[in-house]
Amino acid sequence: MIEFGQPAALWTGLAIGLPIFAHMAYQTVTKKHAFPSLRFIQPSSIPRTGRKTPSDLLLLLLRILLFLFITLLLADPYWQDPRVSSSRDQGNQTVIAIDVSPSMEGWNGLREAKMRAQELLSTEDSEFGLVSFGADVLQQVKVGAEMETLADAIEGLGHDWRKGNAQVFLDRVPELFSEGALSKKVVIISDFQSSDWQAVYRDLISDGINFELLQVGAGEEIGGRTKNQGIVEAKAVPVGSGNIRVWVVVRNWDDSPQSLELSLSAGGAIREKQNLKLNPLGSAQAQFILPAGDFSKASVRLESKDDYALDNERSLWLKAPPPRRFGFWIGNENQKDTKQERDFLETAVLSSGDSGWNRWESSQDIADEKRMGDASSDLELLFALGVGDWFEKEALAAGLIPFLEAGGVCLMTPSEPFSASISIINKSKLMDFSFSKVAGAASRSGEVFRIAALAQDSPLSQLFSGTSARDLYLTSFQRFGVLKKIKSTLRVPLRDRNGYALAVVREYESGGRLVFLPFRVSPSWTDLPLRNSFLPLLMEMVKKGRMESTSRAWPILEPGDAWTGSEVFRAEQPGTFRFEDQWIEVVPSLAESSPEVSTSAEVDLALGGKENARGQLADRSGDSSMENRLSLWLWFAIATSILLIVEMIWCRPKLKTLVEEDKLNA
């Protein structure tokens, strides 16, 4: 459609009346002719007329068109793309974005956000949309919705339980507006809690989007909030015989000392209460004792009120988690070395637990099932002792490799002859190295081999220090296989003083681990099992990435996390849940309890800066409008010139009239 860059120039169109007035006022001048006598001329009457009509209508029409085109030319006409016209019809668009992360429930943040959003609907002249965000964009009302719909949606907002992630919302901001809107603005209403906003970045200005930050739930001081105490940890462990201890840690985020009451509930009733005194920005512990077996779960709660209530309660299970299971693959259990080896290792692993719920259990039935090819058997640690012909005949490598790739741990020892074990391990593609001899086996002279100093950057060096290291270095080896050409992908955590490997480890991406000892764990090969250093050395070598070394508990998740078994459990809100054979605890996000907030200046900088936003957006809007304009000025100039030329030709003096006048005057 045609629009004008200078619409005020259309007032010059009033000049169209000039040619009309000129034609109305024009009178034909009677030519004088010399005539000798009047006696032959008959008198006649001149008719009277009440109005005068313009003369030479075609010329008048031509001049009217000329003035009209001159007027349009001065108004700078152009053809506007229909899409731009559509965007002008849409007008200004504003999206109200409300943070509903858990921290907004505290410090009156969400309630204040609803009030501020309702005020925007009643004061600003714009088309509105609404979006709520926490860990993700949760609810969206498209731009242009009815005010009642928007008001109802704002009033119905509730907090999310998942930890907030403002970056997910910012990545979707451009999608919230209609295409080609005249102006775009997002009003972000949030408490700007530090854990949710400290790592965000999005240059909204370069996206052509203006923004406004409205901070709510700021408390008494901008940049920080106080008056919050929360439960940051709670766990249950067995104590003595027949009792369970519930251990609770409470933190004070306030900069003043606080006194509060902590209660323990089980079986639908409060069992015990304790009074706690918290130092400014400090923590305190509390312990409760319950009879074991009387209750399956409990909850601890802060009875006093504060500005953020979502972290005032914690639920936990009082049931013992399942123990870790281990088993053995053995070729000939009647061999003396094999029997001693099994007894040593079984006793060591069983004693590696603690007085809590970190327990190991020997499960030979499960190990036998895995040996028969049952991949679903639940086993964490497997010992393959005296690997020989039996290992190859039963094709056990085919079942062992998936076990390792799934995160399992296996410790292998050789058999006699030693060369047969090395050949089987290489053929099975479990490890890659060669063999030269068995040190100390030929002469049986009683030669003793010792462990070399541990590398300073190794986990074993951190584990052994002082007297424990002295005991390790006094270990005697009478025999062990000398390995050569160990592949670089294998790790050697332990060597003798001649540099020969005493342990070789292959690690898998899943956390699985294969450990090969080039000696038998029996007194005829070494006195290591008889030393105090044996247990920590053994457990450190078989410890995988996901295996907890000191504690064992039921899965503890935060809202938004997932636990995977044969199916997937997704945590939605705090509480205790039973899923398959797991007893899962879901706890509130600790990061949301922090009262620290980002300042408006920090958030403003992360969103691209705001000081020159209006100017940049205006320039960008103008550029976009110019890109969609097709100027008609040249065409109107050509048309005006043509009309002017035609008018000049039309009004030129006629040659016949000039000739006649010359003749008369002659």
- Measured CA to CA, the distance from residue 246 to residue 298 in angstroms comes to 9
CA 48 to chain centre: 94
Structural element, H or E, at residue 210: strand 210-215
Tokens at 183, concatenated: 């102006």
User: What are the residues whose beta carbons fall under 8 Å from the beta carbon of 344, sequence distance 6 or more?
Assistant: 521, 522, 529, 534
- Measured CA to CA, the distance from residue 180 to residue 624 in angstroms comes to 9
Q: For 439, phi and psi rounded to 5 degrees?
A: -65, 130
Q: Find out whether 378 and 580 touch, Cβ atoms under 8 Å.
A: no
Tokens at 512, concatenated: 């699985």
DSSP 3-state assignment of 294?
coil
Query: Where do the H-state alpha helices sit in 227-335?
Result: none
Residue with tokens 């039963």: 394
CA 421 to chain centre: 50
Nearest to 262 by CA among 254, 425, 251: 251
Residue with tokens 């503890």: 556
**What is the helix, strand, coil percentage profile of the chain, to 5?**
30, 25, 40
Which residues in the chain show pLDDT less than 50? 84-89, 220-223, 546-550, 611-624, 658, 664-666
- Measured CA to CA, the distance from residue 606 to residue 48 in angstroms comes to 87
- Measured CA to CA, the distance from residue 562 to residue 547 in angstroms comes to 18
DSSP state of 597: B
Q: Could you read off the pLDDT of 362-389 as tens digits, one per residue?
A: 999 999 999 988 877 678 899 999 999 9
Distances in Å between the Cα of 532 and the Cα atoms of 460, 472, 474 are 15, 8, 11
- Measured CA to CA, the distance from residue 386 to residue 520 in angstroms comes to 8
Give every strand in the sheet of 491-495, ordered side by side.
360-362, 324-330, 381-387, 409-414, 513-516, 501-507, 491-495
Say what the pTM is.
Answer: 0.61
- Measured CA to CA, the distance from residue 640 to residue 658 in angstroms comes to 30
Q: Find out whether 544 and 506 touch, Cβ atoms under 8 Å.
A: no
Which CATH fold topology does 324-542 show? Rossmann fold (3.40.50)
Q: Could you read off the pLDDT of 183-207 as tens digits, one per residue?
A: 899 999 999 998 899 889 999 988 8
- CB neighbours of residue 512 within 10 Å: 21
> Quick check: do 91-224+597-624 and 324-542 share a fold?
yes
Q: Find out whether 591 and 195 touch, Cβ atoms under 8 Å.
A: yes
Q: Find out whether 50 and 634 touch, Cβ atoms under 8 Å.
A: no
Where do the domains of the chain lie? 2-33+54-81+631-665, 91-224+597-624, 229-319, 324-542
Signed CA dihedral, 134, 135, 138, 142: sign only: positive
Nearest to 180 by CA among 78, 80, 96, 85: 85
Distances in Å between the Cα of 255 and the Cα atoms of 134, 251, 292, 585 are 28, 12, 39, 31
> 229-319 is classed in which CATH architecture?
Sandwich (2.60)
Q: Find out whether 262 and 250 touch, Cβ atoms under 8 Å.
A: yes
Which CATH fold topology does 91-224+597-624 show? Rossmann fold (3.40.50)
- Measured CA to CA, the distance from residue 134 to residue 142 in angstroms comes to 18
Distances in Å between the Cα of 250 and the Cα atoms of 7, 234, 425, 644 are 71, 9, 53, 92
Nearest to 59 by CA among 34, 89, 35, 23: 23
Q: Find out whether 496 and 505 touch, Cβ atoms under 8 Å.
A: no
DSSP 3-state assignment of 536?
helix
Q: Could you read off the pLDDT of 506-527 as tens digits, one per residue?
A: 999 888 999 999 999 999 899 9
Q: Find out whether 484 and 443 touch, Cβ atoms under 8 Å.
A: no
- Measured CA to CA, the distance from residue 194 to residue 596 in angstroms comes to 6
Nearest to 318 by CA among 399, 237, 373, 372: 237
pLDDT value of position 442: 63
